[in-house]
Amino acid sequence: MTDSIRELTILQPDDWHIHLRDDKALATTVPHAAESFNRVICMPNLVPPVKNVDDAQAYRARIMQHLEISNLSAERKASFDPRMTLYLTDHTTAQDIELAAKSGIVQAVKLYPAGATTNSADGVTDINACVNVFEALEKYNLPLLLHGEVTHDHVDIFDREKRFLDEVMVQIIAKFPTMKIVMEHITTSDAADFVLSQGNQIAATITPQHLMFNRNHLLLGGIKPHFYCLPILKRESHQKVLLDVATSGNPKFFLGTDSAPHATDKKEAACGCAGCYSAATALPLYATAFDSVGKIDRLEGFTSRFGAQFYGLPVNESTVTLVNAPMQIPTNYPYFDGSSLTPLMAGETLPWSIKG
């Protein structure tokens, strides 16, 4: 622990990877995200997906409607800026990319390998068929966000990220060396090393759960459904490397919660949904992770500077203050249609909290 730092004021963070879901879910997820973050990159894997600029504009309008009727302060409402992503499919065109780049609201394009995660059935089945789209992304300097896993049934779930790096990433970078790419929610030392070995056009987001936990937390003593996410938690050795790079001050690594809400009964089921919900408590979670290795002083770069710099956006001017005072994470939040939402580390106490 960093005993000398009891209070830390940092620039307001942004979340460069979040799932807000849609419709009634937005009444919960939007206020939680807007409490802590200014800009958030909203994932497009809705049903149906956000495939073009018209879809993105309509989705953003629904988000803003829920922001306006929330109980947030006028300052928080004014600061919140949902940035949209398009869902890359086998049918996305170069014109879709051009329109997105010129829209003013689309920040990136997301590639899900078909079947990789929640609502990814419309994802890409053949990377080699995306040449025109990748050329357009390079041309308009629009980043490609990658869920970096192969999805072949015969590949072990713990090896899927490494196989993606070896079989897919190398191909993409060789053919499109100037395309900006974010490896989303990296989970392995292999991914961290890969990002470090590349130029400044390659970056990565890291979630709080992959900094704080490993597969023992998920599996030891029985399966813990609220630790189940995709990409799945890996060995402790991988977790330690992620902590090393996240707290290193290297601008290639920045905050992306991958906060993914699923109703509690959908998580605690025979076939539980993948995803950890952390939007409302992300900053204390990250502060706890950084302080666990004595690097709380490196938090601002990771949460508030490096992502904006990568995306070519100004850093925020507002601030938030974290204090070394305990906070208990709620056991659940009310969700839509009478359901509940169980957050990551529900009911547990963290050593850091947000002042005020």
From the list 15, 258, 291, 337, the catalytic residue is: 258
Helix (H), strand (E) at residue 290: helix 282-292
What does the pLDDT read at residue 2?
45
* Measured CA distances, 280 to 31, 57, 73, 102, 329 (Å): 8, 25, 15, 32, 9
Q: Is 60 annotated as a binding residue?
A: no
Q: Is 238 annotated as a binding residue?
A: no
What does the pLDDT read at residue 120?
66
Active-site residue, 153 included: no
Cis before residue 48, ω within 30 degrees of 0?
yes
The rounded distance, in Å, linking the Cα atoms of 18 and 20 is: 6
Segments of the chain assigned E as strands: 7-11, 15-18, 39-42, 81-87, 106-111, 144-146, 181-183, 202-206, 253-255, 319-323, 327-328, 333-334, 340-341, 349-350, 353-354
Tokens describing residue 347: 């009911």
Q: Is 274 annotated as a binding residue?
A: yes
| pTM (two decimals) | 0.96
Please list the pLDDT of the chain residue by residue as tens digits (356 residues).
Answer: 445 689 999 999 999 999 999 999 999 999 999 999 999 999 999 999 999 999 999 999 999 999 999 999 999 999 999 999 999 998 999 999 999 999 999 999 999 887 666 666 677 878 888 999 999 999 999 999 999 999 889 999 999 999 999 999 999 999 999 999 999 999 999 999 999 999 999 999 999 999 999 999 999 999 999 999 999 999 999 999 999 999 999 999 999 999 999 999 999 999 999 999 999 999 999 999 999 999 999 999 999 999 999 999 999 999 999 999 999 999 999 999 999 999 999 999 999 999 98
Bridge partners (DSSP) listed for residue 40: 15, 82
What does the pLDDT read at residue 15?
98
Q: Are 353 and 325 in contact (CB under 8 A)?
A: yes
Q: Are 186 and 206 in contact (CB under 8 A)?
A: yes
Domains and CATH numbers, the chain: 13-319 (3.20.20.140)
> Who contacts 128 (Cβ-Cβ below 8 Å, separation ≥6)?
none
Q: Are 190 and 237 in contact (CB under 8 A)?
A: no
Q: Is 285 annotated as a binding residue?
A: no
